[in-house]
Amino acid sequence: MDDVIICICHHLDDEHKISFLSTCVGMHKIKNMVFYTKKMHGLFIEYLSYFDQFCNIICYSKFPKFVTHLQIDWTSTMPCYDIPSTVTHLRFGYQFNLDIVDRIPSSVRFLSIGPPFDKSIKHLPTSVTYLTINTLHSEPVSTIPSSITHLTLGPDFNQSIKNRIPPSVTHLTFGRSFNQQIKNYIPNSVTHLIFGDKFDQQLHDCIPRSVTHLQIGAAFNNIVTDCIPLSVTHLTLGGLFNKSIKYLIPSTVTHITFNKYFRGNIKHLPTTVTHLIFREIYGVIIPSSVIHVTYYYRSKKVRFDVNLHEYILSRLSPNTNYVVYNAHDRVIAQNRNLYL
């Protein structure tokens, strides 16, 4: 019977899980047999009998036995040098600024460092492959270890990256504030490149030809012919992009995501483009070369009903598959079927 209840709990969020297991004394004991994955502050769970079952905590004074996701925000009275080897996701948050050399266990794969941290990160364990840096200080970013494959430069990062990105990085994400020159600064190892909202630098001959997935930020509305390399197959246009795409999209691109403000004509898309994503319902006629369209319906002014569904169908060729998601990412229409 316990196995059945545990199985049910796997399909519940933490709040409903605890409520379900609080219905009687017999169920209460199972609280020590399931795990709780929602981020919790240690202060609120420290004295619970099932404290060790919490996997995702903001550290207060001690660690649960099975913790895998740990956030440390303070620098005083914290056991920050006794991080358990169960931790795979580690975040040093606001106000943390202690030396971390030889302090991070080799179990950690995902590391996020927030402001005002300005210590060396040269000697991270080689197990760390995902790194997020959110720095506010004006000093150049520390040398990034060669074990890092996924690098995110956080929302406040706006420093030169010259000679800073190691050739091990394959996924590079810039935060909202970054707006520096990039020519010859991004290694040829990078295949996935994301720019933040404020980036508005020249792209022509600046993106390595290793990049296959490119996302342009909200402020960038100055795409010119040949600025997107022929290596790119997946392209996401920024939040404010709303201009003609004629001659701008290379013939290598197969997947394009348009933002919710885009109202341009797409009849000049290369015939290689087979998948489109629209961040809002947009009544443009879809080229017959496109085999799949995804719409996100966010409008609060117009109800998504049969008439709007028929309108979408009138813009698609008979062989084009499609799906429509609502604001909660639930499918409300798909391949001639309407779910309301």
Q: Give residue-wise pLDDT tens across range 171-199.
A: 999 999 999 999 999 999 999 999 998 99
Specify the residue for token string 């300005």: 118
Of 70-84, 100-114, 158-172, 215-229, least confident by mean pLDDT is 70-84
Residue 11 to residue 181: CA distance in whole angstroms: 47
CA dihedral 197, 201, 204, 208 (to 10 degrees): -70
pLDDT of residue 266 exceeding 90, the answer is: no
Given pLDDT bands bounded at 50, 70 and 90, which one contains residue 76? very low
Q: How far apart are the first and last CA of the chain?
A: 37
- Dihedral sign from CA coordinates of 303, 298, 326, 7: negative
pLDDT of residue 36 exceeding 50, the answer is: yes
Q: What is the DSSP string of 237-258?
A: --TT--S--TTTS-TT--EEEE
pLDDT of residue 69 exceeding 90, the answer is: yes
In percent, how much of the chain has pLDDT > 70?
93
Q: Locate the domains of the chain by residue range.
A: 274-340
Given pLDDT bands bounded at 50, 70 and 90, which one contains residue 317? confident
pLDDT of residue 131 exceeding 50, the answer is: yes
Tokens encoding 248: 């701008």
Quickly count: other Cβ atoms within 10 Å of residue 324's Cβ: 22
Q: What value does the mean pLDDT take over residues 294-304?
A: 78
Query: In this structure, are residues 2 and 27 in contact, taking their beta carbons and an 8 Å threshold?
Result: no
Whether cis (ω within 30° of 0) applies to the bond prior to 140 is no
Please report, as a single letter, which amino acid is at residue 320: T
Whole-structure pTM value: 0.87
In 126-243 the beta strands, taken as DSSP E runs, fall at 130-133, 150-153, 171-174, 192-194, 213-215, 234-236
The pLDDT, as a whole number, for residue 188 is: 96
Q: What value does the mean pLDDT take over residues 138-151?
A: 78
Given pLDDT bands bounded at 50, 70 and 90, which one contains residue 75? low
Tokens encoding 332: 């409300």
